[in-house]
Structure 1
Amino acid sequence: MAVDEASAKAKVISSDDTNPQPILGFQDADEALPQYHIEAQTSLVERPLRALKYGEAFAVLDTYGDIGVFPGPEGIYFQDTRYLSRLAFTVEDQRPLILSSVMQDDNGALSVDMTTPDIRIDAQDETSLPRELIAIERTKFLFRATCYDRIGLRNYDTRRRTLRIAVTFDADYRDLFEVRGTARTRFGKRTVQVSSPSEVQFRYVGLDEIVRTTSVHFGPKPVRIEPGRAEFEVSMAPGEHTSLFIRVVCDSHRAFTSAPSAERTGEDSAAALSRASGSGGDQPTRGLPEGRVFARAYRDSRRDQRQLTAGITTIISSNDQFNEALCRATADLYMLASRTQEGIYPFAGIPWYSTVFGRDGIITAMMALWIDPNFGKGVLRFLAATQAKTVDPAADAQPGKVLHETRRGEMAMLGEVPFRHYYGTIDGTPLFVMLAWEYYAVTGDLETIKAIWPSIELALDWIDQYGDRDGDGFVEYARETEQGLANQGWKDSHDSIFHADGTMAKAPIALCEVQGYVFAAKKGAAKLASLLGQEGRAETLKAQARDLREAFDKAFWCEEIGTYAIALDGEKRQCAVRSSNAGHALFTGIALPERAEAVAGQLLSTDGYNGWGIRTLAKGQARYNPMSYHNGSIWPHDNAMIALGFARYGLKAEAARVFEGLFDTALYQDQKRLPELFCGFMRRRQRGPVNYPVACSPQAWAAATPFALLASCLGLEIEHDKNRIRLRNPILPRFLDGITLYNLKLGASRVDLRVHRHGDDVTVAVERRIGDVQISLLK
C-alpha cells in the first residue's frame, strides 16, 4: 500500500504460531516506530464500522450511523481531511436500541433500524416510556461532498408521545495522517458559528491557505441550536410518523482572491481529479425543505450509480453465499470508483487510502478487466496525465515514472508528509505498461493506446534509464530522501525485505516480482509497438524480454530454499527468503516452466498456506510474524495474482485451492467482504480467520479479488484481435456446481456463458450470443 504501516513490529520468529522465540541481533529500523505508522489504541475489529463514499468524500460510521461516540477513525472526510468528527443522536439523552444495521446491496446507503430504550424522565419515577414503542429508521448516504441523513420516527403506542431529541456534532479538521497517528505542532485557525436558525457552520483556515468549511443543516428547525448541539421536540399521535433531516456539506476554497499559483493551491496534477468526483459541495438547495433536498439527492445518487454500472458483466452461481460475496465485491468496486477528468479510477481503500494510488489502481483494473474495462481505461489515462516529467528527489520522481500516491490534505500541501504527488513506487511504472497491453487485448481500443503511447514510451525509457540504476538489466529502488519510503514495492513496510538471517537488505534493491512486471511490460509493449507499425522497436523489446528472463532465473533462483529469492540487495546478494513474491513470477510468466511446480509447492506448503490463503512470508523465515503487515499476513489480492500465475502454468487445481480458502474467509467477514489483509495464523477447526486490527474495508484490490480468482479457474481469455473468448482447461472449485456469466463483452459482441461442473469435469454452454464472437473450450 501507500506507506510503511505495520502496526506490530516483527520482534519474534517461531517454528509454529504458538511457540515464539526471540530474535537475536535485530537492530536499527525495526526497533524504531515504523515510518508513517498507523497508530492503534483500538482495533477496527472491535466495533463493526460502516463506510460510505462518493468521489473525494467518504464517511466512516458506527453501526448506529453515528460518529465519534467512541475513539476511532469515524468521521466524514473530504480531500484527506476530517470535516466532521462527531455526530451523535440521542432520545431523552439516551442512545436508541439498535435492531439492525446494513449497507444496501449496492453500498448506496446505510440503513439502520432502532427503537427507544426504556426511558425514565426522572430517576425516581417508573419508566416513562417503555422500550419498543417508538420505531426509528435511519438512512444515510453520500453524494457530491454532502452527507445526507434522515431519521424517521413512528409511534406504535396507543397514546400521543412527545420526545426530546438531541444531535451533538463537531468538526476537528484533523488531517488524515493525524488521525493515523502522525503528530503535528502547528495548526490553522478554526471557528464555528450558528449561521441561521437551522444551520451551524464550522470554518478552518489552514496553514496551506485553504479554507475548509463544514455546514450542518437541520430540518425541521430545531427548538434550540448552538455550536455543537441541536435539540428537537417531537410529538406524535398514535401511529403517526415524522422525520428529522441532517445535511453535512463539505467544501474548500482558497483563502485569497488573487489568482494563485498552481504550487500554492495544489491544483496541478491533482486537477485530474475532476469536480465530477464530488468536490465543491452539493447542488443549490437554498429555500427547499430539507425533506425535498434529501429526496432529490437520493434519487440523483441512485441514477448516478445505475449509470456507472450499466452494461457490466454480471455473475450468478449455484451458491447463494458466493452470490452475496460477489454482490458485495461489485458494490465495493463501484463505491470506491471516482470520476476524474480521465475516466473512472478506483480509490484504494477506506479509511486510510481513499485516494489515487498508482499500483493499487492498476492491479484492481487488471483483475476487473473482464467485468468492466472502463476501469482500465480510466486508470491508464489518469496515470498518463500525471506521469512525472522532471527529476524531483523530494517526490522520488524522475521523467516517465508513474504516480504512486496523491494527497490533498493540509500536511501533504505543506510538505509535512511527501505524498502530495509522490512517485516512490518501483513497480507502478512497469505495471502501467502491462495494463496497457492487457487493456488493448481485451478491448481492441487502439485509439486510447495511441493517445497514451508517448507515456508508454516514457515509462519504458524510465525502466531502462532510471529504474536500472547500475545497468545490469534489473530494476532496483533506493529512496532519494529520508522522507521517502524505505521499501518501494507493494510490500513497503520498513522491515519487509531482508536476508535469511533477518538482517535488513541494503539499497538499491531489486525485487523478484518487479523483474516479472518488467518482463511482461516489455512483451506487451512489443505487441503494441508492432500494432503501431514500429517493428524495429517491437523486436528490441522482445529481445530485452528474452534476455531478462534468462538473467532473472540465474540471479534469483535459489536452490537452498527451492524457489525464487525475494530480492537482490545492493551488492547483488540474494535475499534467500521464502515469500509470496515468488508467485508473481508465475503471474507475469517470467518463471521458467520447469520452475512452476516447485514455486507452487513452496507457496502451498504448510509453511506457506495456512488453510485460508498464502502467507506473504512463509512460517519459519526470519521476521515471520502472522500479525505483521507484510511478514506473514495474508492479502487477498496477492493470492489472486498468484492464482492467476498458477493457471498460466496449468496448475488449475492449485488455483482452485486458493479460491476455496479465500471464499471460506469471506464467509466469516462482516458483509462477506474480503478485507485488505488478515493474519496468517494457521486455520483451526470451528474457528474463522484472525482479522488484522487496522485493515481497510472496503479495499479496491480485495474487492476485485473474486473476479480474478474466478477467471483463473475458468482459464478465461478474451482476445479481441482473434475475436475469440476462450476457456482454457476450466475447472470450478468445490463450492460451485455451476456459474453463469451474463453480458460478457468482446467488441460489439455480447454473450452469456453457463459453466457447469460434473465431478472433476465441466461443460460450457452458450446461453445467448449477440454478434459474431467465437467461443472455444481448450482442454
Structure 2
Amino acid sequence: MLRECVLHPYKYYILATTPRTLEDYLVLKNGDSFAVFNRYGDIVQERLGEEGLYHQGTRFLSRLEFVLCDTRPFLLSSAVRGDNLLLTVDMTNPDIFLEKELFLPRGVLHIRRSKLLFQRGYYEEIMIENYATQEIHLPFSILFGADFADIFEVRGTVRKKRGTALQEIASGNQIALRYTGLDSVLRETILSFMPQPTELGTNYAIFHVHLKPREKATLFLTVMCKGEDAPETPTLSFKEALSKTRQSLKELRKNTCIITTSNEEFNAWLDRSYSDIFMMLTHTPYGLYPYAGIPWFSTVFGRDGIITALECLWINPSIAKGVLNYLAATQAQEENPEEDAEPGKIIHEVRLGEMAATGEIPFGRYYGSVDATPLFITLAEAYYQRTRNLEFISRLWPHIELALQWIDHYGDKDGDGFVEYTPSPNGLINKGWKDSHDSVMHSDGSPAPPPIALVEVQGYVYQAKLHAASLAKALG
C-alpha cells in the first residue's frame, strides 16, 4: 500500500522509508547485470524492497532464499571478495528439533554459499559439510521468484498497468519463469539445478542430502536472464564462469597502470579503488564505459562517464576512448522535446528496461544534462594530450563541432552569453551535477526560478572552447 500513498511533486522521486547502511547489502556486478543480496546471500523483499538480480533495467529474480529444514541457518560471516568477483556466505545450522526431540544440535553443519555474475548469468555453489559424529539425512530448499519489475518500479514509480506473467515451464532440473512486457518483449528467468531436485515446484526446489561424518555435498544453481537480445550461448559451469571473470579482470589490470607505494595502508586503499573501478567498467560495442552506480544508476550516464574517464586518464586512457566513442555514437542529431534532445547535445542517461521502451519514462535515450556537452569536448582534448592519437581525434572532430554548435545555439537560446536550462515537463527539473528536483535554491531555501545558468557550467564552456581551439590547431 505504501507505493500507492506516495504524494510527491516529482514523479521520479526515489522512495526512502527506512535507513540504509553499506552493511545492509552485498553487491555483485558484471556487464549489464548486477545483484543485491542481504547478509545471508538471500534475496528477500524487506526494508526498501530493492534486493534482486537485475539485467538491463529489469529485475529477473525478486526472491532467492536458502532454507534448511524449514528454518534459516545461523550466519557466521559474509563478504564480497576484495576483487569484487566472488561473494561468499558462511553459515551453520541452528538447533533442529524433530517431534520435540533435538534432532541436530547447532553448529555441526558448515554451509558455504559462493556466488558470482558473468555476462547475463548468476552462478552459485552451495557446499554443505557434516561435522557431526553420526550420519545425517536432512532436507533443504531453494525458494525463488521473479516479478520482472522495471528498476523504476522498484525505486518507487507507480505504473498504471503491467505486462502479463506467463505459465512457468519446468523440465527435469530446470524451470523457466516468464513474463511478456507492455513492450511485447518476452523475458525469462531460467533456473537450472545440479543435481536434480527431489521436488521442483513453481517457486521452490527441495533437496535431500545424506552425509556421513566429514562428508560434503555440493549443489550448483545457475540463473540466466533471457530477453529480446539474448544470444544463444552455452551455459557454463560455476568453475568455468569463475575462470572467465578472473580472466576478464586480468586483462583489465594488464592494460592499466598499477600504482604501488611503500605504505601498505595506502596500497590497500588503491587496491580497493582499482577493484571498484574495474567492477563498474562495462564492455559496450564502442569500448569500455564506467557505469554510474548500483543499484539505481548501473547504466550509462554522460557526465559521470566523462568525469570518471578524466580521473582515470593517466592510468588507463582506453576508458576515455570508450566513453568518447559511445557519446559520439549517441550524440543527438535532431530535436525531440520528450527526450530533451537537441542537435549536438551529449546524452545524459541511457535505460534499457520495459518502461523506457514503452515511453513511460523518458530515459531510454535522455539528453537532460546541461554540462555533459562541454565536458565531452574537454575529455577529447585531454585524451589527445595523453595519447597523441590524432587519427582518433580526426574521426571525432565532426562531433566536437556539433557540440560547439549546441553550446552557442541551443545552450544559450537568449543570446546573453550564458548557457542555461529550463525544467522539462516529463524529465529532469535541474540539469547540472546537482540534478535533484530541489537541489538549486536561494539562500532562504526557495527554489531558483528558471532559466538557470549554473556557475560551473560557464567555466566548462570556456574551458571547452579553449580545448576545441587546441584540437583544431593540432588538426591543422
TM-score, with length taken from structure 2: 0.95
Partner in structure 2 of residue 284 of structure 1: 234
Change (3 A) 1:173 1:243: same
What CA distance in whole angstroms lies between the structure 2 residues aligned with 1:160 and 1:321?
Answer: 47
Partner secondary structure for residue 96 of structure 2: coil
8 Å Cα contact 2:45-2:62 kept in structure 1: no
Deviations 1:187-219 (A, max 9, x none): 111124242121111111111111111001111
Partner in structure 1 of residue 3 of structure 2: none
Partner secondary structure for residue 345 of structure 1: strand
Partner in structure 2 of residue 205 of structure 1: 180
8 Å Cα contact 1:194-1:225 kept in structure 2: no
Partner in structure 1 of residue 221 of structure 2: 246
What CA distance in whole angstroms lies between the structure 1 residues aligned with 2:232 and 2:107?
Answer: 36
What pairs up with 1:487-506 in 2 under 5 angstroms?
487-506=430-449
Partner in structure 1 of residue 312 of structure 2: 368
Partner in structure 1 of residue 207 of structure 2: 232
What pairs up with 1:31-430 in 2 under 5 angstroms?
32-45=8-21, 48-68=24-44, 70-71=46-47, 72-122=49-99, 124-125=100-101, 127-253=102-228, 280=230, 283-285=233-235, 293-430=237-374
Partner in structure 1 of residue 450 of structure 2: 507
Higher Rg of the two aligned structures: 1
Deviations 1:517-557 (A, max 9, x none): 11111111111110000xxxxxxxxxxxxxxxxxxxxxxxx
Counterpart residue type for residue 425 of structure 2: E
Partner in structure 1 of residue 408 of structure 2: 464
Partner secondary structure for residue 172 of structure 1: coil
Deviation at 1:47? 5.2
Partner secondary structure for residue 104 of structure 2: coil
8 Å Cα contact 1:220-1:244 kept in structure 2: yes
8 Å Cα contact 1:487-1:497 kept in structure 2: yes
Change (3 A) 1:189 1:508: same
8 Å Cα contact 1:145-1:281 kept in structure 2: no
Counterpart residue type for residue 78 of structure 1: H
Change (3 A) 1:109 1:208: same
Identity of aligned residues (%): 48
What CA distance in whole angstroms lies between the structure 2 residues aligned with 1:69 and 1:512?
Answer: 42
Deviation at 1:318? 4.2
Partner in structure 2 of residue 773 of structure 1: none
What CA distance in whole angstroms lies between the structure 1 residues aligned with 2:237 and 2:447?
Answer: 57
8 Å Cα contact 1:194-1:226 kept in structure 2: no
Deviations 1:554-605 (A, max 9, x none): xxxxxxxxxxxxxxxxxxxxxxxxxxxxxxxxxxxxxxxxxxxxxxxxxxxx
Match of 2:464 among 521, 525, 529: 521
What CA distance in whole angstroms lies between the structure 1 residues aligned with 2:449 and 2:278?
Answer: 40
Deviation at 1:107? 0.5
Deviation at 1:354? 0.6
What CA distance in whole angstroms lies between the structure 1 residues aligned with 2:207 and 2:422?
Answer: 59
8 Å Cα contact 2:89-2:112 kept in structure 1: yes
What CA distance in whole angstroms lies between the structure 1 residues aligned with 2:223 and 2:109?
Answer: 26
Deviation at 1:395? 0.5
Question: Aligned-residue CA RMSD in angstroms?
Answer: 1.6
Deviation at 1:502? 2.6
8 Å Cα contact 1:191-1:203 kept in structure 2: yes
Partner secondary structure for residue 467 of structure 1: coil
What CA distance in whole angstroms lies between the structure 2 residues aligned with 1:46 and 1:341?
Answer: 32
What CA distance in whole angstroms lies between the structure 2 residues aligned with 1:62 and 1:176?
Answer: 18
What CA distance in whole angstroms lies between the structure 1 residues aligned with 2:246 and 2:392?
Answer: 29
What CA distance in whole angstroms lies between the structure 1 residues aligned with 2:167 and 2:266?
Answer: 48
Counterpart residue type for residue 94 of structure 1: T
Deviation at 1:298? 1.5
What pairs up with 1:545-560 in 2 under 5 angstroms?
none
Partner secondary structure for residue 259 of structure 2: strand
Deviation at 1:324? 2.4
Change (3 A) 1:468 1:69: closer
Change (3 A) 1:163 1:320: farther
Change (3 A) 1:508 1:69: closer
What CA distance in whole angstroms lies between the structure 1 residues aligned with 2:285 and 2:426?
Answer: 30
Worse overlay, 85-94 or 67-76 = 67-76
Counterpart residue type for residue 191 of structure 1: L
8 Å Cα contact 1:89-1:167 kept in structure 2: yes
Partner secondary structure for residue 158 of structure 2: coil
Counterpart residue type for residue 27 of structure 2: A
What CA distance in whole angstroms lies between the structure 1 residues aligned with 2:169 and 2:447?
Answer: 56
Deviations 1:700-750 (A, max 9, x none): xxxxxxxxxxxxxxxxxxxxxxxxxxxxxxxxxxxxxxxxxxxxxxxxxxx
What CA distance in whole angstroms lies between the structure 2 residues aligned with 1:138 and 1:173?
Answer: 25
8 Å Cα contact 1:92-1:121 kept in structure 2: no
Change (3 A) 1:323 1:121: farther
Partner in structure 1 of residue 393 of structure 2: 449
8 Å Cα contact 1:250-1:281 kept in structure 2: no
Deviation at 1:149? 0.6
What CA distance in whole angstroms lies between the structure 2 residues aligned with 1:61 and 1:496?
Answer: 31
8 Å Cα contact 2:76-2:91 kept in structure 1: yes
Change (3 A) 1:415 1:194: closer
Deviations 1:434-460 (A, max 9, x none): 111111111212222111111111001
Counterpart residue type for residue 209 of structure 1: S
Deviations 1:459-505 (A, max 9, x none): 011101111111122111113x4112111001011121122333221
Partner in structure 2 of residue 540 of structure 1: none
Deviation at 1:132? 1.7
Partner secondary structure for residue 59 of structure 2: strand
Deviation at 1:418? 0.7
Counterpart residue type for residue 93 of structure 2: T
Counterpart residue type for residue 224 of structure 1: E
What CA distance in whole angstroms lies between the structure 2 residues aligned with 1:218 and 1:202?
Answer: 14
Deviation at 1:379? 0.3
Deviation at 1:152? 0.8
